[in-house]
Structure 1
Amino acid sequence: MQNPGVRPSLSTSQPTTSTGSSDLDKILSHQGLPLGNSLLIEESGTTDFASVLLRAFAAQGIMHNRITANANAKELHSHVIVLGMAPQWANDLPGLYKGSSKEQKKAKIAENESKVSVSNIAHGSNLPRGDQKMKIAWRYGLNAKDMEKENDAGEMNAAYEHYSHQFDLTSKLQPGPNPQEISFVPISDTVSAIIKQLKNIVQAQLRSNPLKTVRLVIPGFLNPSIYPPQLTAPTFAFPLIHSLRSLLRQFENNLVMVSSLALDLYPRQSNLTGVLESLFDSSIHLQPFNQEMSQWIERAYKNEPAKIQQGLVDIIKIPVLSERGLMMVHTGEFAFKNGRKRFEIEEWGIPVEVDSKEEAHDNGEKSQTTKNIDF
């Protein structure tokens, strides 16, 4: 736990690292992905929402290296390996979310108030945080136990303040990752050649820092635009996943893996996808809404565009817990929306579309009736 990017799982106390999406961390039931485990992100349709999660997963690893400025190789806490993609893939990693204009102004005010000055001392803004809270509690008669609970939660978040970051999907990570933070491994003709390259990189990274986490990212697994035709057959895919699974178990205290799979190419009913789901430690299914459903949701939330969701998230398998026999399948319970601040996952509820007549009545407009209302 000396690595700032690692914290105990809420379910099993295993060392766990963030996926780069706090909502995805929650639905995995561990507040992240346990070390030595893998996640398969399946997606239906022609959209590419899975790439957003994969890039956030990679960007989270890069941010764990930037907790301290000018960190050398021995101080790096994480390394990212991307399989099958060109180095240009890293150019689209999301940058940190700096908050809205109001939040940025509040942050500036808080920073100025934290500085030692005559006016700040006079107003007591430089008192310790706990003393300030107790002063507020005394003034407004708040319960001391409630204040203690708030302090405990704040201390817990402060202990893992660098564990998870919020990313702005409309911006790019600046500065971009350097070769010490990210490696790219091309697709080779044989499984043994791929595994050998991956193993050499992992071992080299752990020699500089045995506590380092290594994130393996596999975008578009078995996609014909990335993999040659002879490498999309089950005779190549199954040995590769078996070998990757063995690599995860070999470096169970350092290595995690996330991959994406297009279900339009490999449907869930196929034997290949079924075997992949059994070999990966966890898997989720992104199911974007069709055009008719999307239009209906837009009408229902026409006055609240921030609530518009893009699809459903089905939980197929949870790390560790599913292998222990717990029934963790959840379908139709969560929905996702790709917002500006982050990729959000929330509980799914069918929106209520307000009828135009009812809306007009609520706005105070007069409605006509043909019924006799005489008594």
Structure 2
Amino acid sequence: MSFRKRSEVIGGNPMANARAPAGVSRPGVPARAPPVNGRGPPVSGRGPPVSGISASRGLITPVSSKAKEQEQFDALMKNPGVRPSLITSQPTISTGSSDLDKIMLHQGLPIGCSLLIEESGTTDFASVLLRAFASQGVIHNRLEKDQLHSHTIVIGLGAAWAKELPGLYKGSSKEQKKAKIQENESKVSVSNLSSAPSSNRAEKDMKIAWRYGLNNKKQEQENNTVYEHYNNQFDITQKLVPGPSGQDMTFVPLSNNYNHIILQLNQIIKTQLKTNSSKVIRLIVPNLLNPSIYNPAFSSPSFIIPFFHSLRALLREFSFNLSLIASLPLDLYPRFTSLTLILENLADSVIHLQPFNQQMSALIEKAYKNEPAKIQQGLVNIFKLPVLSDKGMMMVYEGEYAFKNGRKKFEIEEWGIPVEDDDSNNNNASHDGHDHGPQTTKNIDF
């Protein structure tokens, strides 16, 4: 058996197979160009060097797009309606409900993300959250006369929907009186200077503040002053006056072709960003697939899935400006159906409003019959949170939070089963059969 070298040409002259100097051709072997500056010969078939790649070391240099993203981020953080997320430091906007902002862990909804609010039953509590989301954007536009910081787009409904936006919460009558008194006391006048509190009174106030933890509340208020315009509290019994104008909101009608809706949205967003590149666009889709608004043909997977997927593509394209909130009735499209599961997968975050049944509602009303302000309407279940769930964290909370749509605002708090008082002891009698007189139900702990 014979062996040959890889450089040996079959049937060639053995003397010609000897290594020749660079640039000298051998029989059957093409000539090689001499090395330049210590580099090897150029490889045929490769194009010109790619921009952004170092030719000497082969390393990728920072691309100019990163610098543009940094500029967009810096400009966006100057928007009074934007603050960094407490977890990821992403630009985040408020949902219009401070309680909802807290349970989402980011202190709001990160820009470029979507929130799907599912609701069981025939109630419409989700519309309260959607209207607060829209009102928050309108309030941000009224902070400066010459600068618009937000724009809201509503899909499927007309201008009549905007007439029900809630107004700012001004506090209870007692709180309004206290605010007026503090405003008058803050003004410099002869009467205020003459009635200044003495040092003993100041020391007493400090002791009371330490005793009841009032200093902690003051520290929280000071911390919130950094983003004082980020979030507002709204009164659902009052309407926003004056109402939103054409610069604040745009209404996009439905179309049989979802591409027409997406093209119209794309045009509106680009038009708004021409005036202010750091403007926040709030996209609202109320009562998704509700038969009173949507044609039954829209619930076909060939329409709704590409439509929602296109909305997700818009969020990724305008990741520094666009956020979306949509509501979905679960009685018409339950969670175990494939359509709802696909929508949940496409959404960045999902919460579920689950009203109490009649038995639980009766129990809560009986337990809080003397305190009607504590009566809750249902549970808030969290199935998915923005960014965190996409990274693999199992952020699922069921039966841990409850909501109540009070006379003035929508609140979310930790859920605890109420304890029903035993009313069997009529006449205030104890177990030994003796009457010990009237008993108080108030808390007397100091």
TM above 0.5, yes or no, is: yes
CA distance in 2 between partners of 1:88 and 1:192 (Å): 25
Q: Is the 8 A contact 2:84 2:91 kept in 1?
A: yes
Aligned sequence identity (%): 61
Please give the per-residue CA displacement for 1:176-220, whole angstroms capped at 9, x wherever unaligned: 000000000001111211011111111111111111111000001
Equivalences for residues 15-34 of structure 1 within 5 A: 15-34=91-110
Q: Is the 8 A contact 1:8 1:16 kept in 2?
A: yes
Q: Is the 8 A contact 1:137 1:147 kept in 2?
A: no
CA distance in 2 between partners of 1:164 and 1:292 (Å): 36
Q: Is the 8 A contact 2:403 2:411 kept in 1?
A: yes
CA distance in 1 between partners of 2:182 and 2:118 (Å): 43
Q: Is the 8 A contact 1:37 1:281 kept in 2?
A: yes
Give the 3 Å change call, closer, same or farther, for CA 347–139 of structure 1 in structure 2: closer
Shift of 1:228: 1.2
Please give the per-residue CA displacement for 1:311-350, whole angstroms capped at 9, x wherever unaligned: 0110000000000111100001111000122111111100
Matched, 1:53 2:53: no
Structure 2 residues without counterparts, runs of 5 or longer: 1-76, 435-446
Q: Greater share of helix residues, 1 or 2?
A: 1
User: How many residue pairs get matched?
Assistant: 353
CA distance in 1 between partners of 2:324 and 2:235 (Å): 23
Q: Secondary structure at the match of 1:327?
A: coil
Q: Normalised by the size of structure 1, how large is the TM-score?
A: 0.89
Q: Is the 8 A contact 1:223 1:232 kept in 2?
A: no
Equivalences for residues 14-93 of structure 1 within 5 A: 14-68=90-144, 71-72=145-146, 75-93=147-165
Matched, 1:279 2:279: no
CA distance in 2 between partners of 1:151 and 1:324 (Å): 36
Matched, 1:95 2:167: yes
Matched, 1:316 2:410: no
Aligned to 1:339: 406
Q: Is the 8 A contact 2:280 2:321 kept in 1?
A: yes
Shift of 1:155: 3.4
Partner residue of 1:119 out of 191, 199, 215: 191
Q: Is the 8 A contact 2:376 2:403 kept in 1?
A: yes
Give the 3 Å change call, closer, same or farther, for CA 357–171 of structure 1 in structure 2: same
Q: Secondary structure at the match of 2:350?
A: strand
Give the 3 Å change call, closer, same or farther, for CA 136–94 of structure 1 in structure 2: farther
Please give the per-residue CA displacement for 1:224-256, whole angstroms capped at 9, x wherever unaligned: 111112212111011011110010011111111
Q: Is the 8 A contact 2:209 2:215 kept in 1?
A: no
Q: Secondary structure at the match of 1:357?
A: coil
CA distance in 2 between partners of 1:172 and 1:24 (Å): 21
Q: Is the 8 A contact 1:224 1:232 kept in 2?
A: no
Give the 3 Å change call, closer, same or farther, for CA 339–141 of structure 1 in structure 2: closer
Please give the per-residue CA displacement for 1:100-148, whole angstroms capped at 9, x wherever unaligned: 11000001011111111112234458xxxxxx9xx659964988xx999
Matched, 1:107 2:183: no
Aligned to 2:334: 267
Give the 3 Å change call, closer, same or farther, for CA 225–149 of structure 1 in structure 2: closer
CA distance in 1 between partners of 2:203 and 2:250 (Å): 51
Give the 3 Å change call, closer, same or farther, for CA 328–226 of structure 1 in structure 2: same
CA distance in 2 between partners of 1:20 and 1:47 (Å): 20
Q: Secondary structure at the match of 2:116?
A: strand
For 2:129, the aligned partner's letter is: L
Structure 1 residues without counterparts, runs of 5 or longer: 126-131, 371-375
Q: Secondary structure at the match of 1:344?
A: strand
Q: Normalised by the size of structure 2, how large is the TM-score?
A: 0.75
Shift of 1:366: 6.6
For 1:61, the aligned partner's letter is: G
Q: Secondary structure at the match of 2:123?
A: coil
Aligned to 2:362: 295
CA distance in 1 between partners of 2:394 and 2:432 (Å): 55
Give the 3 Å change call, closer, same or farther, for CA 264–120 of structure 1 in structure 2: same
Shift of 1:293: 1.4
Aligned to 1:185: 252
Shift of 1:263: 0.3
Aligned-pair Cα RMSD in Å: 2.3
Shift of 1:296: 1.3
Q: Secondary structure at the match of 1:309?
A: coil
Shift of 1:292: 1.7
Equivalences for residues 141-152 of structure 1 within 5 A: none
